[in-house]
Amino acid sequence: MSWRLGALAVYHFCPRGACRMNLSTEAKVGLMSAIGLVILGWMIIWVGHIDFGPQGRTVEAVFRYVDGLVEGNPVRYAGVDVGKVTKVSVNSKGVIVKMQLKPGVTIPEGSKFTITSMGLLGEKFVEIVPNPLATRDLADGEQVEGIDPQRLDDLFATADKLVRDMQKLVNNLNDVIGSEESKTALKKTILNLQAITGNLEIFTASLQRIAVHSEQDVINMVQNLHGVSERLLSVSNQADVFMRQFADDGKTGQELRDSIASIQRTAQAVEKMATTLETEVTDPQTIQSLRETLQNVRQASEKTNKLLGRAQNFKIEGGAEVLGGRDTYQTNMDVRFGNGSGFLQVGINDIGEGDKANLQIGKQSGDLTARVGVFDGKAGVGLDQKLGGNTKLSMEVSDPNDAKVKLRGEYYLGNDGAFVIQRSDIKDSRQPTFIGIRKNF
């Protein structure tokens, strides 16, 4: 109510337009100066990031190079402004950058501190990349190791080196391609490629014609392969039965060892009895006979011991295979009796047709195996060489009157199966190349 009375009094004593404020020039200048000072102070506070409120934690980072970072530059945590740089100093460790964080801001231990900028020529700032696996936060005033920023000089040096390398590459290409000899060779290569392309087109057309006219032959080949696989299955079953009957489910080897052990015990008993009789008998002729008996028994016992040792290492292996060639196929089977590195191998090739016998003795040394004996019914020798874990190459030379050289390769598909390719006689061009599969037992 009082302000209304005051206003009425002013209006009563100062009618409209009668009372006006007259300011001197000095007053107007002073007022404008005051307003300018207020604006200047606000700008200083804003640009200088000056805070008058409560302060948060301080963190120090050590760099070897800060790339123009100065006091007042912002500090960002995962892209968010969380503080500012309050001091940049140098000591024996390097450049120490002290950062003041806002109240309530914490930095996980193990976070990465690096210096970057907004754009190529923008303001520098400290970027903090948080560590998601941290178990604690950095303490107030704790010092960490910073990651130095990439210098423009280093980038320029790398780019300059890259340009020099590219220039050297271009010069080398010019030296290789720019000469007349290279140009001529390149033209010849292009012409040769054109000729090869033309030949490939002719070859493709020929294959297409062969495929059209030989479709029935392909079908017959597939049917023959099916028959070969059935025959191999039958042969493998028969061989499996034979091996089980021979080994009697593993009893044959044990029985053989038991028999040899029994012979050894008998020999020891005879030797013991003969020794006892020698002390009781006085007839010289009888004593001489007993001594000869003891000598014979000892020799028999030694041979029995050797035989027993060999029997413990004795093992039997076998295999059957079916191979198919052009208009023919053959079935082969073999059994190997091994004792250590030595072995005896018997078998028959081309069962039911040629029935060619194999009887060989051999010795294995590492990956190399040597064989000698009868090969396809003829005397000869053979070598087997393993290449790696799955491949084996074999060569057999037989028949002294008309030498034959057989080459064979096996690629094992597992512990008991193999893919086989074989040429029975590389000297005879009429001999087909056999391809098939083998089953081991």
C-alpha 422, offset from chain centre: 33
Listed range (44-48, 84-88, 158-162) with the worst mean pLDDT? 44-48
- Mean pLDDT over residues 158-172, rounded? 84
- Mean pLDDT over residues 56-85, rounded? 90
- Highest-confidence range of 69-73, 183-187, 313-317, 386-390, by mean pLDDT? 69-73
Which pLDDT band, with edges at 50, 70 and 90, does 53 fall under?
low
| CB of 382 closer than 8 Å to CB of 394 | yes
Which pLDDT band, with edges at 50, 70 and 90, does 332 fall under?
confident
Instruction: Supply the pLDDT for residue 5.
Output: 43
Q: Which residue has the higher pLDDT, 298 or 37?
A: 37
> Residue ranges of the domains in the chain?
58-152, 183-281, 315-440
CATH 1.20.120 is held by the domain 315-440: no
| CB of 100 closer than 8 Å to CB of 56 | yes
- Mean pLDDT over residues 391-396, rounded? 88
- Highest-confidence range of 2-6, 306-310, 343-347, by mean pLDDT? 343-347
Length of the chain measured in residues = 441
Give the CA radius of gyration of the chain: 51
Q: Which residue has the higher pLDDT, 133 or 258?
A: 133
- Residue 128, pLDDT above cutoff 50: yes
* % pLDDT > 70, the chain: 67
Question: Nearest to residue 325, comparing CAs of 431, 227, 221, 433?
Answer: 433
Instruction: Supply the pLDDT for residue 110.
Output: 92
Instruction: Supply the pLDDT for residue 52.
Output: 60
- Residue 145, pLDDT above cutoff 90: yes
Instruction: Supply the pLDDT for residue 355.
Output: 79
Q: How far apart are CA 426 and CA 205, in angstroms?
A: 32
Q: How far apart are CA 15 and CA 11, in angstroms?
A: 6
| CB of 393 closer than 8 Å to CB of 408 | yes
In this structure, what token pair is assigned to residue 250? 């593993």
Locus of tokens 């039997």: 316
Instruction: Supply the pLDDT for residue 310.
Output: 57
Q: Which residue has the higher pLDDT, 437 or 176?
A: 437
- CA angle (115, 90, 131) in 5-degree steps: 35
Distances (CA, A) of 365 to 162, 213, 320, 338, 369: 56, 51, 24, 13, 6
Mean pLDDT of the chain: 76
Instruction: Supply the pLDDT for residue 139.
Output: 92
- Mean pLDDT over residues 83-106, rounded? 91
- Residue 219, pLDDT above cutoff 50: yes
Which pLDDT band, with edges at 50, 70 and 90, does 218 fall under?
low
Q: How far apart are CA 406 and CA 396, in angstroms?
A: 5
Which pLDDT band, with edges at 50, 70 and 90, does 7 fall under?
very low
Q: How far apart are CA 322 and CA 330, in angstroms?
A: 6
Instruction: Supply the pLDDT for residue 82.
Output: 92
Q: How far apart are CA 244 and CA 247, in angstroms?
A: 5
Instruction: Supply the pLDDT for residue 120.
Output: 65
Instruction: Supply the pLDDT for residue 114.
Output: 93
Listed range (57-61, 210-214, 417-421) with the worst mean pLDDT? 210-214
Distances (CA, A) of 412 to 87, 234, 368, 426: 74, 20, 17, 23
